[in-house]
Amino acid sequence: MTEPFGRRLAERTAERGALCAGIDPHPGLLDAWGLPRSVSGLEKFALGAVEVLAAEAAVIKPQSAFFEAYGAAGVAVLARVINYARQGGALVLLDVKRGDIGSTMGAYTAAYLDGDSELAADAVTVSPYLGFGSLVPAIETARAAGRGVFVLARTSNPEAWQLQNALLPNGKTVAQSIVDEAAAVNRGVAPLGDVGVVVGATVAPGELDLDALNGPVLAPGFGAQGATVGDLRRLFGTALRGVLPASSRDLLRHGPDPAALRAAVRRIQASISE
């Protein structure tokens, strides 16, 4: 896999639309699908979801924590989801939010961005709160392998505001400084850089300047958390270039019927592209 992630992402979203379809095997969703809260229920849920979503969406985003909750057997199911998503033609953004220093970050990088790992994805989410420089092993490994990273910048959870909007000595917020660091890595890359940021779709317009980012934006909070297409356009502009609105539980509640889930994906895609 040598073609840069940013280029592959731009091509895939041009073909299929920008929706990032999450696979979150939340216990409540297993209940709603009539499945047991067990490895067998997890497997039926996740593989049933990916069979539909991978053929429709440009990006599939499994939430690793809900698989890890079932131990080694759950992680094995996650590996199958990653593989099936690729077979269906989707890119895989694995939501792991890892962030550490030195050799520990290198080990996380080997697990999720190295081509020899069963858990290697097209891109992963990472946390910069041990310093943006701590992410260098992940960024370098990702680029060498044609993969990407999405760095948490301004997340949608209410607890994040105090930290992420804190002012630094240069007058910028912590969140803006993360965006600027990502922009520096992406400078000059075409058509889109490989280092994205995570910005909640529920964030107030004007909090961040994303003009120079030249990379993708993962926008959770669309759907179940209340963000609408109008909110996306107010926050990111009318073109939504490089923006991946993420929908997980609001989308998955339409299962387990494949036809209903497929129709929901297409309905959401159409609303984003209008």
From the CA atom positions of the chain, what is the Rg in Å?
18
pTM of this structure? 0.96
d(CA 49, CA 85): 10
| Catalytic residue numbers, as ranges | 97
φ and ψ at residue 105, rounded to 5 degrees:
-65, -35
User: Any idea what DSSP says for residue 153?
Assistant: E
Mean pLDDT of residues grouped by 10 in the chain (274 residues)? Answer: 90 95 97 98 98 97 98 98 97 97 94 92 97 95 96 93 95 97 96 96 89 95 73 80 92 96 94 83
Domain extents in the chain = 5-273
d(CA 21, CA 61): 6
Please, what CATH class does the domain formed by 5-273 belong to?
Answer: alpha beta
130-175: pLDDT as tens digits: 999 999 999 999 999 999 999 999 998 889 999 999 999 999 999 9
